[in-house]
Chains A and B, each alone.
Chain A
């Protein structure tokens, strides 16, 4: 049971991370820096707790806000570049954060930062945050800014011509995504009681990207689903021991061939909506902007 709870807790934190990737991705920006933002949130919140005795919730929030500010600063140079180049820029950023953490004596350098107060209700806090993010994203979907983000993601030039300020849209998305990752990092740090630079290397950033792409990036349910499944599946596969990572890899390959848009697409949501409505006996008539 304890084991299951710990997997579920990590899955919750990963959902936050996958959503932070999705937030940035909405505007067409691909970030491999989310592990870096997670590290910033983790370290800053740990400093708040350990060195200054700030309580859990504000400490985690401060970590998130700090990360969001760094995101805003990194978002500026990121505005000018796209695609694979942005990938490299954000990857470089993640590495810089890690190297700084390795050399920073104040937070224990490479040996890590121990003695972070343990939050025994991490499961609740993590999923509380997930619920908040679900509310955020579903409101965003039916809002002026949400549509603008999606428009920028699908055709930046057209979005600007029809009246979207693409610079502020991209910066905002980048910064809010960094905030989410920072909060995820803070929750993570207070669950592990200890952070070290290795926990936030690029492999993890790639993992968050995989969660999102696997689950689907047309709608926010995709990254949630992806993070849940891809965290639990390898755990359940432990019975087949060394074959489990092969199976995990095969699962990814098959998925990308069969359903490149990810497990959860817009069509999935529309179908579920229709089923749900028919089930309630209201039948055909769709409300505008079915979610």
Chain B
């Protein structure tokens, strides 16, 4: 198990957002998290990446507890993520955004940046740039490298966010509704990008509402409803689960 979530509880001012959620994310799998709006999916992601702290419970990454660890250190351990609402750094170029992805894996500080005699690009900077360029090619956007990030179409911004997370070379990639706002053709491309990521041996944990995408690529699906896990299994098992159908469509 690359990620273990044990009895996680999260309260917001007395309101329970997640209650006793447990989940195991197996290595090198694509694991999907689905559920109606407000079920607590993004909250769970935020607990994993460290945006919020758990109220109770444990989160383990590669066997070591990460709840309570600062967000940027969790990233350094190898957890990359994207956001439900795209959060690129608007005034920076696409390439700079992706280069930021490997920030915590590189070292150059202020003094080293300033005090150098050569006007040539420092070794580390060059490596960072080439690495970022490679991931931009991977998501199919090398031609947009020097564009200001906020000028890109929405679907492309989502792909840049994925490239930024990949530049970290994460072992676990959290994707929060990657297909939202994408048309069918863009979703198709996204589908192949996610499959390729998984083929490289990375674990993907994603939240998604697009059932065609979810059922098509996931190995395992967990379903959340009202802050609790109501089902887990293969796509076929989930599709036939009466509790899941009820959560989505209501009682027959």
What residues of chain A have their CB less than 8 Å away from a CB belonging to chain B? 135-136, 139-140, 142-148, 150-151, 154-155, 157-166, 172, 176, 218, 266, 286, 288-290
Cα-based distance from A3 to B110 in the complex (angstroms): 38
Contacts of A144 in B (CB 8 A): 99, 103, 106-108, 113, 124-125, 128
State whether the Cβ of B72 lies closer than 8 Å to any Cβ in chain A.
yes
B111-149 near A? 1/0 per residue, CB < 8 Å: 001101000010011001100010000000000011010
State whether the Cβ of B96 lies closer than 8 Å to any Cβ in chain A.
yes
Q: Are B103 and A150 in contact (CB under 8 A)?
A: no
Q: Which of B67-111 contact A (CB under 8 A)?
A: 70-72, 75-76, 80-81, 83, 87, 89-93, 95-96, 99-110
Q: Are B146 and A290 in contact (CB under 8 A)?
A: yes
Cα-based distance from A159 to B114 in the complex (angstroms): 23
Q: Which of A142, A154, A161 contacts B89 (CB 8 A)?
A: A154
State whether the Cβ of B204 lies closer than 8 Å to any Cβ in chain A.
no
State whether the Cβ of B31 lies closer than 8 Å to any Cβ in chain A.
no
Given contacts A144-B103, A154-B92, A163-B168, 14 further A-B contacts (CB under 8 A): A139-B114, A140-B114, A142-B125, A144-B128, A145-B108, A148-B100, A150-B91, A151-B92, A151-B100, A162-B75, A162-B81, A163-B76, A163-B101, A163-B104
Q: Are A158 and B83 in contact (CB under 8 A)?
A: yes
Nearest 7 interchain pairs by C-beta: A163-B104, A163-B75, A158-B87, A143-B113, A154-B89, A144-B108, A160-B71
Considering the complex, give the chain A residue whose CB is closest to the CB of B121. A142
Q: Are B106 and A151 in contact (CB under 8 A)?
A: no
Interface residues of chain A: helix, strand, loop or mixed (majority): helix
Contacts of B35 in A (CB 8 A): none
B132 to chain A, nearest CB (A): 9
Contacts of B76 in A (CB 8 A): 163
Contacts of B121 in A (CB 8 A): 142
B152-195 near A? 1/0 per residue, CB < 8 Å: 00000000000011001000000000000000000000000000
Cross-chain pairs A/B with CB under 8 angstroms, 20 sampled: A136-B114, A142-B125, A144-B103, A144-B106, A144-B107, A144-B108, A144-B124, A145-B109, A148-B103, A154-B89, A154-B92, A159-B89, A159-B100, A160-B72, A161-B49, A162-B100, A163-B75, A176-B110, A289-B93, A290-B146
Q: Are B91 and A288 in contact (CB under 8 A)?
A: no
Cα-based distance from A136 to B49 in the complex (angstroms): 34
Contacts of A266 in B (CB 8 A): 91, 148
A128 to chain B, nearest CB (A): 15
Q: Are A286 and B146 in contact (CB under 8 A)?
A: yes
Cα-based distance from A242 to B72 in the complex (angstroms): 55
Cα-based distance from A290 to B96 in the complex (angstroms): 11
Known pairs A154-B90, A160-B72, A161-B49; A289 contacts B103 (CB<8 A):
no
